[in-house]
Amino acid sequence: MKTLQDILQPQNLVYTKPTLMNDRPMHYCPGCSHGMVHKMVAEIIEEMNLTDHTIGICPVGCAVFAYNYLDIDWIEAAHGRAPACASAVSRMWPGHLVFTYQGDGDFACIGTGESIHAMNRGENITIIFINNAIYGMTGGQMAPTTLMGMKTSTCPYGRRADLHGFPLKMTEIAATLEGTCYVTRQSVHNVAAIQRAKKAIRKAFTNSLEKRGTSLVEIVSTCNAGWKLSPVEANRWMEQHMFPFYPLGDLKDTTEQQ
Amino acid sequence: MQQPQETMLLKGNEAIALAAIRCGCDGFFGYPITPQSEILETLCKEKPWETTGMTVLQAESELASINMVYAGGATGKKVMTSSSSPGVALMQEGITYMAGAEIPGVIVNVQRGGPGLGTIQPSQADYFQSTRGGGNGDYEVIVLAPSSVQEMADFIGLAFELAFRYRNPALILSDGVIGQMMEKVVLPPQQPRLTEAEIAQRYPWAATGRSKNRGSNYFTSLELHPEAQEKHNLHLQEKYARIRKNEVRYEEYQCEDATYLIVAFGSAARMAQKAIEDLRKKGIRAGMLRPITLWPFPSERIAQLSTQVKGILCTEINAGQMVQDIRLAVEGRTPVFHYGRLGGMVPTPDEIENALTEMIDNFSNENHE
Ligand SMILES: Cc1ncc(C[n+]2csc(CCOP(=O)(O)OP(=O)(O)O)c2C)c(N)n1
Ligand code: SF4
Ligand SMILES: [Mg+2]
């Protein structure tokens, strides 16, 4: 029989918390995609050795406290203004990695103007866009990305075109803009997806450092609290309903051609 | 990079732009609006990105501009924006966030008449918006009121100095008269922009990228626990008290022997000064106090003068805004009157003279009763 001490040996190490993640308990609901994406971002910054010249812009939304979890310099933007903030920071520190981390309400609703214009200017920034089709932080209201028929607290009988209009595909719009160099849609619902998403964020960060224009990484995400589903059910629901409308994969990659 | 001082004939708006480059400004973010578009236009024509390395960006809106200033200021850089009244209304979100997160930055408002889209003619109707905080929460903005093209140039450097000293937004409250008129200006010599090392050393709070020898620098105005938010508010209030104590600025004109006092700021002070010259010729001992900082307001000095004079006339290009601060300072010790024109109309020195004469007539009538 091996004792615990026998097991706790460096050669047996298969997983460790990224050193850029603080020890503070996260406020995210169990099963929420935010936690997973935070960890990936921490790992990538660490692996790319960018800690001392990275500035993150956090949103208003469930990720508002990102600065409590990732040990880098942060600026918290007003709701939706992160791309304007990132534009200024990247121009003030042109050698730095500047990224925003935004929900669908932040990026694709109240901040639509700032999002489109920052991308269209080709700001050398990365936008990580957490699309959970709902306003998580304020308790589950309708988002611009809420699916047709989907129930939220402000469309309790389901989203209807005549009352609420249609879900907005900001990532598709981003792909049409000259200023974007890399536009991709990913998810973090299983190990393979996590690995693909991580590769995508790493590529986006590289583009930003190499000043190729704006990179947008949408992560189709779960909000099990807002959707009122268990973590497992939320992942299943996302696969069944979100992926058909928000198909995963690269929408644009100008960096491949070079 | 040090150049000698240079005298030029400039519009107020042009003076702002050239002084910004010369004081080592790192970034300007703005959106066109009359009567201040020459600020952005002059900067674009000067292309300082090729000389000092200063960034000039035409943003998609004033909302974006001010949020660029918010984040640019957080990096420890000298950043600014300019606009006119409706655009500054849109900026109030960013200004309260700057105040809350204690981020320095400079905003220039070349005021026009309102409300709403109003008019493109000059006005001082944004006094309340500037000094009462147009955004949400308990906060103050340092407000400087230039009354000449020279002061437009001088106050850029001063505004940055105060903004960084107190980590607070500073606003230059000008108007269409000062923005558009041409006067001789002595421009400051060219200052170099700060280097990355200088910023890290002078502003250890700035978002420069977390180095190994410090923890994360982050900017937020959010605090969910009311005890902590109250503590933060008290800290801000303590800072505002220091600013009130140290930074009140005003100018006096013929106050020594004055029996009547005019209080006016910005372009209205120019008209009032002319009115005083004429009144003095007629033997009326009028003097003027011109607040240079509208916040912090020179309440103490006005209170002192209120015991010396028979009455105070506040002339503004609005319906009566600063007059409220004067009344608060005077506390009923002497009568306070207001004369203003609205909606883009500017009072003439004659009108001001008449308003003061009328005020004096009122007194003598009362005395006979
Ligand atoms: C100007 C303004 N309007 C509204 C709010 C309230 N609010 C906070 S978060 C939020 C929605 C966030 O949703 P999303 O961006 O999708 O992020 P999530 O919480 O789902 O990750 C809203 C409306 C606010 N903070 N500021
Ligand atoms: S409310 Fe939704 S988005 Fe917010 S932490 Fe919970 S699961 Fe995540
Ligand atoms: Mg959301």
Check pocket membership of A62 for ligand 1, CB cut-off 6 A: yes
CB contact under 8 A, A74 and B55: no
Tell me the pLDDT of chain A averaged across its residues.
Answer: 96
Atom from ligand 1 closest to the CA of residue A60: 9
**Is residue A14 included in any domain, yes or no?**
no
Query: Residues with Cβ < 8 Å from B210, sequence gap 6 or more?
Result: A51, A52, A54, A71, A72, A73, B216, B217
**Is residue A160 included in any domain, yes or no?**
yes
Distance between CA atoms of B127 and B130, rounded to whole angstroms? 5
Distance between CA atoms of B365 and B66, rounded to whole angstroms? 52
pLDDT digit string, tens, across residues A110-167 = 999 999 999 999 999 999 999 999 999 999 999 999 999 999 999 999 999 999 999 9
Q: How much is the pLDDT for B362?
A: 85
CATH code, domain with A229: 3.40.50.970
Q: How much is the pLDDT for A16?
A: 86
Q: How much is the pLDDT for B1?
A: 46
Q: Is the Cα torsion angle B233, B235, B237, B239 positive or negative in sign?
A: negative
Q: What number is the average pLDDT over the span B288-300?
A: 98
**Is residue A55 included in any domain, yes or no?**
yes
- Sorted by where each starts, the structural domains of chain B and their CATH numbers stand as 6-197 (3.40.50.970), 251-368 (3.40.50.920)
Check pocket membership of A223 for ligand 2, CB cut-off 6 A: yes
Residue B45's alpha-carbon distances to B26, B31, B36, B50, B352, in angstroms, are 17, 15, 15, 11, 40
pLDDT digit string, tens, across residues B146-158 = 999 999 999 999 9
**Is residue A215 included in any domain, yes or no?**
yes
pLDDT digit string, tens, across residues B42-80 = 999 999 999 999 999 999 999 999 999 999 999 999 999
Three-class SS state of B82:
strand
A127, A99 contact by CB (below 8 A): yes
Q: Is the Cα torsion angle A41, A42, A47, A53 positive or negative in sign?
A: positive
- Give the count of domains, chain A: 1
> Residue B296: is the preceding peptide bond cis (ω within 30°)?
yes
ipTM of this model?
0.95
DSSP state string for A198-250: HHHHHHHHHHHHTT--EEEEEEE---HHHHT--HHHHHHHIIIIIHHHS--EE
pLDDT digit string, tens, across residues B238-274 = 999 999 999 999 999 999 999 999 999 999 999 999 9
A112, A84 contact by CB (below 8 A): no
Give the closest residue to B42 by CA, choosing from B16, B60, B61, B22: B16
Q: How much is the pLDDT for A223?
A: 97
pLDDT at position A257 over 70? no
Q: State the pLDDT confidence band at B212, using cuts at 50, 70 and 90.
A: confident
CB contact under 8 A, B68 and A87: yes
Atom from ligand 1 closest to the CA of residue A102: 15
Question: Which neighbouring-strand residues pair with B253?
Answer: B288
Distance between CA atoms of A223 and B171, rounded to whole angstroms? 42
Q: State the pLDDT confidence band at A8, using cuts at 50, 70 and 90.
A: confident
pLDDT at position B367 over 60? no
Q: What number is the average pLDDT over the span A95-115?
A: 98
pLDDT digit string, tens, across residues B70-112 = 999 999 999 999 999 999 999 999 999 999 999 999 999 999 9
Token representation of residue B160: 């940055």
Secondary structure letter of residue B220 according to DSSP:
-
How long a stretch of residues is chain A? 258
Question: Which neighbouring-strand residues pair with A182?
Answer: A215, A253
Give the residue whose CA is nearest to atom 13 of ligand 1.
Answer: A135
Q: State the pLDDT confidence band at B369, using cuts at 50, 70 and 90.
A: very low
In the block, tokens 């601060």 appear at B325
A218 interfaces chain B, CB cutoff of 8 Å: no
**Is residue A35 included in any domain, yes or no?**
yes
Give residue A245's Cα distance to chain centre. 18
Q: Are strands A214-220 and B6-11 parallel, antiparallel or unpaired?
A: unpaired
**Is residue A7 included in any domain, yes or no?**
no
**Is residue A94 included in any domain, yes or no?**
yes
Q: State the pLDDT confidence band at B318, using cuts at 50, 70 and 90.
A: very high
Global pTM reads: 0.96
Token representation of residue B268: 């209205």
Range of the domain at A198: 29-253
Distance between CA atoms of A75 and A85, rounded to whole angstroms? 8
